[in-house]
Chain A
Amino acid sequence: MSQDTDRLRELRYVLEVATLAIPREREARDRYLGAARRAPGEMARRIFEEMARQEEQHEAQLRALITHLEEELAR
């Protein structure tokens, strides 16, 4: 019983961490894309675009994780 409660608490904690992280990833992506558009050189543009792509991937990973955690919590 106690183990179940601990597990539920951990699931909810991780779900909250993932939920709070998503807006941060989106904001970082938008900031990097904005910087890429204004970048004075090819190298800076490519680096910012790559970083924006990574943030998008992070957000997608978080969304996949949230779906998984919500399924776990619903069981």
Chain B
Amino acid sequence: MSDKTFTLEDLTGFDGCDGRPAYIAVDGVVYDATGSKLWRGGNHVRAHDAGRELSREIGMAPHPRDRLERLPRVGLLAAAPAAPVVPPPEPVPAFARLAHALHAHPASVHFPIALCAVAALLHAGGRILGMAALETAALINLAIGLASAPVAILSGLLDWRYHYGGRLSRLFAWKLGLSSLLLALGASALGLRLGGVGPAFDALVALHLPVVLALGFVGGRITFPAP
């Protein structure tokens, strides 16, 4: 076996095209595939090109790794530049793992969002149409929505802390701010309701709609990042 050492850049010059030799590297060894019928034109099964390091690809090949030993060895691949330091993953406590495994946040977050949105619409309908039953339904929706919010917020905080590293990026800052605003709105509205229905109560209930829509939008951006 030759002692010749190839860098990844050297290897690209042996791509099997235009009469050049076809070399491939796997697990630090460089093989000459030029004479192989399976590597004509520097390509193997229309999926793998010569002139490259293919250790990862061969792990997915349907044939065993030692099939390469049929090819002549022509040298060694120079060690890659030092890899960046990778901090170890932070351990996740059992309760946070369980909450994540049960999808506690996505399962619970829809309750305050849906109920508060429905409460705002029912209350507006009740006030416009003069139907007390709608206003009562709105109040019930609002109370249940507010009661479910702490579960959604707590499970969201757990996911944020342990699965997103607790970094207060722009989206998470919005999510935390809007969640706090929703809680404050709900508590204030229910507090005001004790003194009866009035314009301030109407406004607070109506404000739930844009806040939960914004929360849903930010949650969507976190779960399904836009390009």
CA distance A15 to B84 in the complex (A): 16
B56 and A16 form a contact (CB under 8 A): no
CB neighbours (8 Å) of B2 from chain A are none
CB neighbours (8 Å) of A23 from chain B are 159, 163-164
CA distance A64 to B82 in the complex (A): 13
CB neighbours (8 Å) of A12 from chain B are 169-170
- B85, CB-defined interface residue at 8 Å: yes
CB neighbours (8 Å) of B87 from chain A are 63-64, 67
- B167, CB-defined interface residue at 8 Å: yes
B85 and A64 form a contact (CB under 8 A): yes
B84 and A64 form a contact (CB under 8 A): yes
With both chains docked as a complex, state the minimum distance between the C-beta of B127 and any C-beta of chain A, in angstroms.
Answer: 40
With both chains docked as a complex, state the minimum distance between the C-beta of B171 and any C-beta of chain A, in angstroms.
Answer: 6
With both chains docked as a complex, state the minimum distance between the C-beta of A41 and any C-beta of chain B, in angstroms.
Answer: 11
Q: Tell me whether A22 and B60 are in contact in the complex, defined as CB-CB below 8 angstroms, given that A63-B86, A67-B85, A68-B84 are known contacts.
A: no
Which parts of A1-56 form the interface with B (CB within 8 Å)? 12, 15-17, 19-23, 26, 43, 46-47, 50-51, 53-54
CA distance A44 to B217 in the complex (A): 38
CA distance A74 to B164 in the complex (A): 19
With both chains docked as a complex, state the minimum distance between the C-beta of B58 and any C-beta of chain A, in angstroms.
Answer: 9
- B165, CB-defined interface residue at 8 Å: yes
CB neighbours (8 Å) of A17 from chain B are 225
A12, A19, A67: most-surrounded residue (chain B CB, <10 A):
A19
- B62, CB-defined interface residue at 8 Å: yes
CA distance A67 to B113 in the complex (A): 35
Residue of B56, B83, B165, B169 touching A22 (CB-CB under 8 A): B165
A50 and B60 form a contact (CB under 8 A): yes
Which parts of B66-88 form the interface with A (CB within 8 Å)? 83-87
CB neighbours (8 Å) of B56 from chain A are 50, 54
CB neighbours (8 Å) of B165 from chain A are 19, 22, 66
Which parts of B125-177 form the interface with A (CB within 8 Å)? 159, 163-165, 167, 169-171
Residue of A20, A54, A67 touching B164 (CB-CB under 8 A): A20
With both chains docked as a complex, state the minimum distance between the C-beta of A26 and any C-beta of chain B, in angstroms.
Answer: 8
CA distance A53 to B57 in the complex (A): 12
CB neighbours (8 Å) of B86 from chain A are 60-61, 63-64, 67
- B59, CB-defined interface residue at 8 Å: yes
* Interchain Cβ contacts under 8 Å between A and B, 6 examples: A12-B169, A20-B225, A50-B59, A54-B56, A64-B84, A64-B86
Given contact pairs A50-B59, A64-B87, A66-B165, enumerate 13 new A-B contacts (beta carbons under 8 Å): A12-B170, A16-B170, A19-B169, A20-B222, A22-B163, A46-B59, A50-B56, A51-B60, A63-B89, A64-B84, A64-B86, A67-B85, A67-B87
